[in-house]
Structure 1
Amino acid sequence: MGSAGPACNRGRAIPPHRGNRRGARLVTEVRPIVVELLGQLGSSREARQYLEQFSRVNESRFAVVKVGGGVLAEDLDHLVGALAFLHRLGLYPIVMHGAGPQLDRALAEAGIETLKRDGLRVTSEEVMAIARPVIYRENARLVDALERHGVRARGLLHGVFECDFADREKLGLVGEVADVHLEPVRGAVAAGALPVVACLGESRSGQVMNINADIATRELVWAIKPYKIIFLTPTGGLLDESGRIISAISLTNDYEGLMAQSWVHSGMQLKLAQIREMLDPLPPSASVSITSAEKLTRELFTHTGAGTLVRKGEQIEWYEQVPDDRRAELEALLEAAFDRKLRPDWLDGRPVRGLLMAESGRAAALILEGADGVPYLDKIVVTPEARGEGLGAALWQVLRARAPAMYWRARINNPIAGWYFQQAEASHRRGQWVVYTIGIEDFAQMERLVKDAAARDSGWREEAE
């Protein structure tokens, strides 16, 4: 058993931008930086794979990174370090920032009450008189910090968002985005500078308006259609009922269930609803990564990521047997992933318990009847195109729900052995194999499962792998 990528693979495939000016420069200049990256992450294969993906994307479409005001206040050093690192790699994330906590504090100091309606800050002229300098100051703080790190940055305070009044009587000077002008963003990137966009807009007549940072980010994402969408927060992800970070959420499969949970508070419900609305018009492979500034690099350059990956998602379908109309698709998926050929009779006599397969055909897990009736995971595969999307994580979650106890094997030199060790409760070396188990407590039974796994037929034309 093995995989073309770990089950928690997390990047949406976008065709290469043929006019990309970074390509040749990356090849010649990036090696020392990659070495530094590998020292941080410990995986050359993953880092190089993601760097190749990112380098094929149009410069202004690499990523939109939404930075909360709390991150600017509490974690500026990590944020600037991560953005500077990406800039050295020749990558230009578009930074969209808020300043909510800073504005709350400034209003309190001025004796002005903070009012919100429908989750939006009521912005009177009195509030705007304080909000503008606060937002200007936070934008300048980030730009200055980047430039102190040797990174060219350009603050974009105006000229990106053209607005109408959302509801002047109810909300005051709050803007509803009517159009997004990308020329300032593209101009910054063309000049080699990171665009740092403030959440302010203007009407056609020049009236400055306040825009909710999450809404501004949504509109920017819809206009740019970036390869990566990242939200940086102090918590580093969405938290479950025990305060632990949820690694992956598929809106297709998990949204309704999550929204019904008593521990999902109103703020988390709003965030999930906003992300769902943002992803709705985008391709099925679209996703949002919620992580911390400190772990931004790990989120971008590793399969496992470091936060919550919220995917638009697709259905993971369950079959009691390998259906005739999907057998050829499954075999092509396995052979392409492993670069090997299956024997024509590989499925004959295999006691299939079930097949999990993504509706797109980009991920699958074949489960067999195992020793003592325990499910045996025979094959699991995620295509290279799906790596970075979280499709594998969704597959693994469905698999675990169907098989609370199971076992599988992988070669000792399997490139995702580290991930298998993280998922398994026990592992056992048997010659060239490592056998992994979950949900097995009886040692005698465990030994039977290990012996069974090590002796199983792989199904490949050549047994030597």
Structure 2
Amino acid sequence: MQKDTRHTIVRLLSNIGSRREVDQYLKRFSSVESTRFAVVKVGGTILRDDLDNLVSSLSFLYRVGLFPIVIHGGGAQLNAALEEAGVETKRIDGMRVTTPEVLEVARKVFQRENWRLVEALEAMGTRARPIPSGVFEARLLDEERLGLVGEISGVDLDPIRSSIRAGHLPILSSLGETPSGQILNINADVAANKLALDIEPYKIIFLTGTGGLLDNYGRIIPSVNLAEDYNFLMSQDWVEGGMRLKVEQIKGLLDELPLSSSVSMTVPEHLAKELFTHRGSGTLIRRGEGVVRYDGLDGLDRERTAELIASCFGRPLTEGYFDKKPFYRVYMSDSYRATAILTKENGIPYLDKIGVTDQAQGEGLGGSIWMRMKQENPKLFWRSRVENPINHWYFDEADGSYRDGRWVVFWYGLESFEEVKTCVDAALKMPETLVKQEDQDV
């Protein structure tokens, strides 16, 4: 890719996030071997209803020198084609029973959808190679019950590597093939997971209509740190059915992959924002790491904590910081890359510092610490400078706020006007705890 084209694309990406964020992620993705950047699973519904945004987002990645491996389904199109052909079909345990008549239709549908995506990419100047079969070696799963449904026994990566070496995006369908040449029907999610296990990509991306995992209010959950959040999620009544199964499957997949691998779920239109900004646009899921709660400062590595805060804010803590405050709880990630430090003021927890390194922001560690802290502290207040770029998130998380000069005081869980007034007054009187005043202090 020409240097000026890359520069233009990076500048465009900066419109969805800071230039620093974009450069950070682009450098990280570019450092990975081309075949190990990302596996992108595209459902048939996306191909049918959102092809333009899909092609635009994949072309964007291609123009910054990234080669996602795309594997698509076609269930919606297959349903329509079977109905049109008058071929009856049924499902057992969620799997389509595949008779020879069904498979004949399926082959045509998957090949057509594969070529349709390739042609749309080529029309935008993005070189793409159709690979409708030949990657997944398979055997019959249960011929008596399911017919020509396959179980993957091996993955041939040569067609994918050849495509990327030639500068083409590899576009795969999920059909498998036995050693004797019999084509078999394979679930696209299963094929994407098996492909990811063999490639060990940096990213596994599921493009969906919902844009991510949804909470009980229908809002997208921005990040899931499985080490910290999995048990909590699975204990919630609203995590059921397809969502529960999806979380379990993703955990099983990530448990078998390197810690550097992660899963993103988003819509095609927002793929670049999900990949190149800390805030993202969908749901980021990682194996992650645990969060330790210290009651007071006992057991806390003060030196590493001070280094973390200095790294996050670009300035060190004031001298004697750890000796001056009534520390209540400290939440710290295992790696000392994210923390929330709470003191107790007038009997109510006060968030004195929350610090998350750039890399940890991209991994969702800050969100995990916030969730844990909020679960264990039903009342909390804190302050933030008015120009702090994450105030929009604080406004979403808080029950209320009060602005006075250069500070905004936030709170949740406070029960009376007197409690709010006491906390606001206490927050505004807090002394500076960082050596040099700059853009933000929380």
Selected match of 2:180 from 183, 187, 205: 205
- CA shift in 2, pair 1:285/1:320, >3 Å: farther
Provide closer, same or farther for how the CA distance between residues 326 and 274 of structure 1 changes in structure 2, counting only shifts above 3 A: same
Deviation at 1:161, TM superposition (A): 1.3
1:117–1:458 CA distance, 2 compared to 1 (3 A): farther
Matched, 1:245 2:220: yes
Show the 5 A alignment for 1:69-88.
69-88=44-63
Task: Classify the secondary structure of the residue corresponding to 2:363.
Answer: coil
Name structure 2 gaps, 5 residues minimum: none
2:425 matched residue in structure 1: 451
1:210-243 CA-to-partner distances (Å, cap 9, x unmatched) read 1111111111111111111110111112233333
CA contact (8 A) 1:286 1:389 kept: no
Letter in 2 for 1:36: L
Q: 2:11 aligns with which of 35, 38, 62?
A: 35
Cα distance in structure 2, aligned partners of 1:345 and 1:385: 28
Question: CA RMSD, aligned part only?
Answer: 2.3
Q: Which residue of 1 aligns with 2:263?
A: 288
Determine the structure 2 residue equivalent to 1:358: 333
Question: Aligned residue for 2:369?
Answer: 395
Shift in Å, 1:425: 4.0
The CA deviation at 1:415 is 4.2
Of stretches 123-132 and 307-316 in structure 1, the one that deviates more from structure 2 is: 307-316
User: For each residue in 1:232-284, what CA deviation from the matched residue of structure 2 results, as whole angstroms up to 9, or x when unmatched?
Assistant: 11111223333332333333344344445444342222222221221111234
Give the secondary-structure state (helix, strand or coil) at the position aligned to 1:387.
helix
Aligned to 2:121: 146
Matched, 1:125 2:100: yes
Alignment match of 1:56 (pick from 31, 40, 50): 31
Residue 463 of structure 1 and its aligned partner are, at CA, apart by 4.3
Aligned length: 438
Distance 1:346 1:264, change over 3 A: closer
Distance 1:175 1:437 in 2: 55
Q: 1:47 aligns with which of 11, 18, 22?
A: 22
What is the alpha-carbon distance in structure 2 between the residues aligned to residue 247 and residue 298 of structure 1? 12
8 Å contact kept, 1:424–1:438 = yes
CA offset digits 1:170-201 (Å, max 9, x no partner): 22222222221222112212222111111012
User: Would the aligned equivalents of 1:163 and 1:178 in 2 still touch at CA under 8 Å?
Assistant: yes
Q: Distance in 2 between matches of 1:38 and 1:342?
A: 31
- Tell me if 1:159 matches 2:134: yes
Counterpart of 2:347 in structure 1 is 373
Q: What amino acid is the match of 2:193?
A: R
* Residue number in structure 2 paired with 1:186: 161
Paired amino acid for 2:362: G
1:19 corresponds in structure 2 to none
Answer yes or no: is the 8 Å Cα contact 2:400–2:411 preserved in 1. Answer: yes
**AA of the residue aligned to 2:353:** K
- The one-letter code matched in structure 1 to 2:382 is W
Selected match of 1:195 from 170, 176, 186 = 170
In structure 2, how many angstroms separate the alpha carbons of the residues matched to 1:377 and 1:405? 10
1:82-118 Cα distance to aligned partner (Å, 9 max, x none): 1111112222111111111111222222233332223
Distance 2:129 2:181 in 1: 21
Q: Deviations over 1:277-335 (max 9, x none)?
A: 21111234543111111221221122222122233233222121123353333223223
Match of 1:5 in 2: none
Question: In structure 2, what is the Cα distance between the partners aligned to 1:113 and 1:259?
Answer: 37
Unmatched 5+ residue regions in structure 1?
1-21
* CA shift for structure 1 position 344: 5.0
Taking a change above 3 Å as real, the CA distance of residues 259 and 409 of structure 1, as seen in their structure-2 partners, is closer
Question: How much does 1:410 deviate?
Answer: 3.0
Report deviation, 1:50.
2.0
- Would the aligned equivalents of 1:347 and 1:459 in 2 still touch at CA under 8 Å? no
1:385 aligns with 2:359: yes
1:322 is paired with a residue of what secondary structure?
coil
Q: Residue type matched to 2:221 in 1?
A: I
Cα distance change, pair 325–245 in 1 and its aligned pair in 2 (3 A): closer
Alpha-carbon distance between aligned partners in 1 of 2:260 and 2:355, rounded to the nearest angstrom? 17
Larger relative contact order (C-alpha < 8 A, sep ≥ 6)?
1
Shift of the 44–252 alpha-carbon distance from structure 1 to 2, 3 Å rule, reads same
**Alpha-carbon distance between aligned partners in 2 of 1:456 and 1:264, rounded to the nearest angstrom:** 41
CA positional deviation for 1:143: 0.7
User: The residue matched to 1:388 in structure 2 has which SS?
Assistant: helix
Instruction: Please tell me whether the aligned partners of residues 407 and 449 of structure 1 are also in contact (alpha carbons under 8 angstroms).
Output: yes
TM-fit CA distance, 1:38: 2.6
Cα distance in 2 for residues equivalent to 1:352 and 1:428: 24
Q: How many angstroms does 1:442 deviate by?
A: 4.6
**How has the CA–CA distance of structure 1 residues 318 and 42 changed in structure 2, closer, same or farther, with 3 Å as cutoff?**
closer
Whether contact under 8 Å (1:153, 1:196) holds in the other structure is yes
Assess if the C-alpha contact under 8 Å between 2:43 and 2:208 holds in 1: yes
- Report if the CA contact (8 A) 1:285-1:313 is conserved: no
Paired position in structure 2 for 1:464 = 437
Cα distance in 2 for partners of 1:45, 1:427 equals 29
Which residue of the partner structure matches residue 411 of structure 2? 437
SS in 2 for 1:409: strand
Distance in structure 2 (CA, Å) of the matches to 1:45 and 1:55 = 15
